[in-house]
Amino acid sequence: MPKPSYTDADFTSALLGLLPRGRVWPKDLTSVHAQAISCFAPTFTRISDSALGLIDDLFPATTVNFLSEWEATLGLPDPCSGTQPTFQGRRNQVVARFSNTGGQSIQFFTAHAAGLGYAITVTQYSPFRCGQSTCGQQLGGADWFFTWAVNCQLNTVSHFRTGQSTTGDPLSSWGNAVLECELTEAKPSHTRLQFHYS
């Protein structure tokens, strides 16, 4: 069911209907009095539209007016946000933090990166073992048990999108600083994380 929406003309008509009756209070839309009253209508229209969109605005993935409150609740912005994050980048980070249930699996890290707007793959390493490793595999110490790598594009580009970006956002931004920071924060403390870009 579509949401009812009121126009400036609807509010002008309603405001004129609230005025007293009489020759001093003309209701004709061409009168100076009615034109002066119509100046208030856009404010009421904006408030009405905002109230109708309140439910959508309360959810992290679609929020506009409550983004700063979501950030404050989730401890954002932090160093992972970067120096000048875009609006959609900030919202992606809120959604990723809010929906993050924790984990140590490849699926968890892939999903966490996807929530931030990055497509990655994960490589797990292991040291050479006689009878289990293949010929030509490099020798490695025990540290390889705890080493893993994230494979990603060299520069993930985020483009300005109508409805998702706001005034002041760049037309394009790129970089993987948010990905590196978020995954470094989320990785198990005993592991070593590498980032490989192609």
Rg (CA), the chain: 27
Judgement on whether residues 95 and 151 belong to the same structural domain of the protein: yes
Burial class (CB in 10 A: 0-12, 13-18, 19+), 111: middle
Judgement on whether residues 18 and 69 belong to the same structural domain of the protein: no
Give the pLDDT confidence of 156-189 residue by residue, as tens digits: 666 566 666 566 666 666 668 888 888 988 888 8
| Mean pLDDT of all residues belonging to the chain | 82
Judgement on whether residues 156 and 103 belong to the same structural domain of the protein: yes
Residue 1 confidence (pLDDT) = 43
Judgement on whether residues 81 and 31 belong to the same structural domain of the protein: no
* Domain assignment of residue 137, yes or no: yes
* Domain assignment of residue 42, yes or no: yes
* Domain assignment of residue 96, yes or no: yes
Judgement on whether residues 65 and 45 belong to the same structural domain of the protein: no
pLDDT band (50, 70, 90) for residue 121: very high
Burial class (CB in 10 A: 0-12, 13-18, 19+), 97: buried
pLDDT band (50, 70, 90) for residue 151: very high
133, pLDDT greater than 60: no
DSSP one-letter code for 187: S
What is the rounded distance in angstroms from the CA atom of residue 108 to the CA atom of residue 23?
72
* Domain assignment of residue 2, yes or no: no
Domains in the chain, number: 2
Judgement on whether residues 72 and 38 belong to the same structural domain of the protein: no
CB atoms within 10 A of CB 151: 14
137, pLDDT greater than 60: no
What is the rounded distance in angstroms from the CA atom of residue 30 to the CA atom of residue 157?
52
Judgement on whether residues 97 and 162 belong to the same structural domain of the protein: yes
* Domain assignment of residue 165, yes or no: yes
Beta strands in 116-164 (DSSP E): 121-124, 147-152, 157-159
Q: What is the pTM of this model?
A: 0.59
Judgement on whether residues 88 and 170 belong to the same structural domain of the protein: yes
Judgement on whether residues 87 and 178 belong to the same structural domain of the protein: yes
Q: Which two tokens stand for residue 196?
A: 């490989």
* Domain assignment of residue 75, yes or no: yes
What is the rounded distance in angstroms from the CA atom of residue 96 to the CA atom of residue 89?
10
DSSP one-letter code for 172: E
Which long-range contacts does 163-168 make (Cβ < 8 Å, 24+ apart)?
Answer: 164/87, 164/88, 164/91, 165/86, 165/87, 165/88, 166/64, 166/87, 168/87
Give the pLDDT confidence of 3-62 residue by residue, as tens digits: 668 899 999 999 999 988 888 888 888 888 888 999 999 999 999 988 888 888 899 988
Judgement on whether residues 68 and 47 belong to the same structural domain of the protein: no
Judgement on whether residues 162 and 141 belong to the same structural domain of the protein: yes
Judgement on whether residues 30 and 111 belong to the same structural domain of the protein: no
* Domain assignment of residue 79, yes or no: yes
Domain extent at residue 25 = 8-52
* Domain assignment of residue 65, yes or no: yes
What is the rounded distance in angstroms from the CA atom of residue 15 to the CA atom of residue 196?
63
